[in-house]
Amino acid sequence: MLHASLSLSPAFVVSPVHRRTFGSFVEHLGRCVYTGIHDPEHPTADEDGFRKDVVQAVQELGVTTVRYPGGNFVSGYRWEDGIGPVDRRPARLDLAWHSTEPNTVGVDEFVRWCRKAGVEPMMAVNLGTRGVQEALDLLEYCNVDGGTHWSDLRRQHGSPEPHGITMWCLGNEMDGPWQIGHKTAEEYGRLAAETARAMRMVQPDLELVACGSSSSAMPTFGEWERIVLTEAYEHVDHVSAHAYYFEEDGDLASFLASAMNMDAFIDDVAATADAVRAARKLTKRIHISFDEWNVWYQHAAPSEPPKDSWPVAPALLEDHYNVADAVVVGNLLISLLRHSDRVHAASLAQLVNVIAPIMTEPGGRLWRQTTFHPFALTARHAVGEVLAVELASPTHETAKFGETPLLDAVATHDAETGDVAVFVVNRSLSDDATLEVDLRAFGDLRVAEALTLANPDAYARATVDDDASLAPVPNTSATVDGAAARVVLPPVSWTMLRLVQA
């Protein structure tokens, strides 16, 4: 058996837990919107056509913010198509996903759905085919009380109160040649700065996100961030980061260590932003919005329909996740939390049906993928402050990352209650690991809950007929003895250990 130890103290704080870390993403892609969150023929559909069972699952998942409407989709989106009487809205070709967009769900419907689900809307503007004026028009429609063309239209359309959206993405993945309206870093940085400056003339307190690199593997990574922030630093609050991970060529060991790439990505973006800050002699710090992240097997499920058709809401990117995928998702959340000093928001991409923790049948059942569980439990129990931890772990060699710790962990502490939560993964393919957690700095604690997600078959998947048998189960090995907690972690596993005052 492997042995590891974890040291932590309430005196060593990384940052408060940012609730926006537990955001997600709804794009007009595949069945995320239509037959996902919106399915008027479903038995649970409400008066707006939204599935109540999906709303309940989103609340169970613990999602705090939802980024909308894209994604690649936003770079060709005319937001005005999705307002007003539904029967008069035009259908449009969506070039990003080779589909037809009926515009049945638009800005007002999405905001109403957010209110039902209890989540904060995070809006993206089209800086691919459009620009400053269209972003200003959308902001006016959403946030101005009344007395202007667009705000009065919103009121006429049944939303008398402003939507009050405060967080806005200035485009999406504009570094990507696949993006409609792809731009160089200089072109995009100038446009982002101009758009941000104008939007702040309408509402100074907005939080604005500039597009960073769509992957750390992009040939422009690093230099893109430097140039964009040199243009826009004073006018934005965050720079985005996007990353997707999947098992390649049967290399499970490297896949389980994917968080090492995320750690390096975050550190590099923060260092680049700080270099611009130093060069510009500025005091404000730019933070990171990691507003697309997940496991995504990019060639396993269709990414677009046949070229001879333009269907509405085709089944696209409907990855079917296994236990190992869930362990990686849990580990990526560990990475995001431990970087809470710089990562102030994040969005699991996406929420329903499209590389998603929640799956639906059109007009039928809802089920939870394996990845649902580590997200839901972390969102629920990561409370208070993120602690800096020292983990002593055995290592093994991986093809992609070299020598890699077999365990990875983060902890949070609620100063009001004294409760401590530890989130930990065992990346070993074959061995149990005993973890000892030093609790001397916290007083008298007891185990309130210990849950582990694991299975002898790391490739086991939940299904629509059985989404419960792969959910986390109580880990009865968890004990507190004196000033230390101990728990045995099975191979390829994610565990939450919750400790409360005795």
Residues with catalytic annotation? Answer: 173, 292
Q: Which two tokens stand for residue 406?
A: 């077999």
Identify any residues that bridge with 100 across adjacent strands, giving them in sequence order. Answer: 93
Say how far apart CA 52 and CA 61 lie, in whole Å.
14
SS3 for 113?
helix
CA 197 to chain centre: 27
Cα-only R_g, the chain: 23
Q: Which two tokens stand for residue 169?
A: 């993405």
Tell me which DSSP letter residue 285 carries: P
Tell me which residue of 48, 28, 37 sits closest to 362, measured CA to CA: 37
Burial class (CB in 10 A: 0-12, 13-18, 19+), 361: middle
Question: In which region does residue 370 sit, left (phi positive, over 0), alpha (psi from -120 to 50) or beta (all else)?
Answer: alpha
* DSSP per position, 117-180: HT-EEEEEE--SS--HHHHHHHHHHHH--SSSHHHHHHHHTT--S-----EEEESS-TT-TTST
Identify the H or E element spanning 412: strand 407-413
Tell me which residue of 423, 310, 312, 299 sits closest to 355, measured CA to CA: 299
Helix axes 259-279, 323-338, angle to 10 degrees: 30
Half-sphere exposure in the Cβ direction for 88 (13 Å, CA): 5
Pair 126, 134: CB distance under 8 Å: yes
Tell me which residue of 376, 481, 377, 500 sits closest to 434, measured CA to CA: 481
